[in-house]
Structures are given as structure tokens and as C-alpha cells.
């Protein structure tokens, strides 16, 4: 049902410092920062030949990653994103198999301006899973 790995997301306490590491130490190309108030994050994408790494920094008062950063002050892997052809079909199939969708269950537009959903980490081996319709 799921397709390619779209990205691995790493939450960081400081986006500038994260960009510095990926650009200068690891020598990667990085997109311009993009604020996503609806998701409570500012993101950049590290562009790799076979996938992307999303660096996430908290944006606003009630960012969904603030608590994560409190628990992981240096940052850490936050979620992985798999591509699906049809996000509503994928969602309904996964719900039918007992998976829980976070939020109100309706897709929101993500960083690539495509519909995304998040699945409960307890249902997926302890890892927060994002689905993106491509």
C-alpha cells in the first residue's frame, strides 16, 4: 500500500544550527526555510539523491514538536514519511486494520503543498508515520 520513502524528519532545537551541520559538515543542498503555521513548524529539506531529510523547528506557542524537543534537547528523529497514491483510500484501509490517525483524521496540506496525514506511533513500531499523497 505504501510507496517510496519521501523523507525522514528530524526535529531540531535551532534550525540555523541544523542547516549549518547539514550544509557545511555534511555538504548537502538545502531548500529555503518554509514556515507552516498550520503545522506549527518551520521546515527545510535536505536534498539527497534518493530521498530527503526534513529539519523541523517549532513555530508558535503550541507547536506539536515543542514537547518532543523538551524530551530530546539536542533534537532527534521525529517521523518518517511514506508516499501513497490516494491518501483517503490509504487512510480508510489502515483504519479498517486498526490504525489510528492523529488529529481530526482529515488530510492537511503539507510542506510540498500535497495532502498529508499522521498515524499514531504506538500503531507503527513506536515511530510517528506521515503519509503524503504524491
Q: Hey, which residues are catalytic here? A: 130
Site membership for Co ion, residue 9 (CB under 5 A):
yes
Burial-class residue 46 by CB neighbours within 10 Å (0-12, 13-18, 19+): buried
Choosing from 41, 53, 81, 119, the residue that interacts with Co ion (CB under 5 A) is 81
Nearest alpha carbon to residue 115 among 87, 81, 85 = 87
Stretch that binds Co ion, among 24-32, 45-53, 99-107, 124-132 (CB under 5 A): 124-132
Minimum CB–partner distance for residue 62 and Co ion (Å):
18
User: Position of cell 483510500?
Assistant: 89
Helix (H) or strand (E) run with residue 7 in it:
strand 5-11
- Phi, psi dihedral angles at 116 (to 5 degrees): -135, 155
Largest CA distance in the chain: 45
Residues numbered 83-122 forming contacts with Co ion, rule: CB under 5 A: none
Per-residue binding letters, 49-78, with Co ion (x by CB under 5 A): -----x------------------------
Stretch that binds Co ion, among 3-11, 15-23, 44-52, 95-103 (CB under 5 A): 3-11
Stretch that binds Co ion, among 5-13, 20-28, 63-71, 121-129 (CB under 5 A): 5-13
Site membership for Co ion, residue 130 (CB under 5 A):
yes
**With the C-alpha atoms ordered 89, 93, 94, 98, is the resulting torsion angle positive or negative?**
positive
Amino acid at each position: 500500500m505504501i510507496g517510496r520513502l519521501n523523507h525522514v524528519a528530524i526535529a531540531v532545537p535551532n534550525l540555523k544550527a541544523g542547516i549549518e551541520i547539514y550544509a557545511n559538515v555534511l555538504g548537502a543542498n538545502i531548500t529555503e526555510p518554509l514556515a507552516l503555521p498550520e503545522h506549527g513548524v518551520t521546515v527545510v529539506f535536505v536534498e539527497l539523491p534518493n530521498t530527503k531529510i526534513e529539519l523541523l523547528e517549532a513555530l508558535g506557542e503550541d507547536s506539536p514538536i515543542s514537547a518532543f524537543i523538551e524530551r530530546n534537547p539536542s533534537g532527534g528523529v521525529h517521523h518518517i514519511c511514506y508516499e501513497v497514491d490516494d491518501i483517503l483510500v490509504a487512510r480508510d484501509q489502515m483504519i479498517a486494520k486498526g490504525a489510528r490517525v492523529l488529529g481530526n483524521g482529515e488530510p492537511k496540506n503539507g510542506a510540498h503543498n500535497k495532502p498529508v496525514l499522521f498515524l499514531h506511533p504506538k500503531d507503527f513500531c513506536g515511530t510517528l508515520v506521515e503519509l503524503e499523497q504524491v
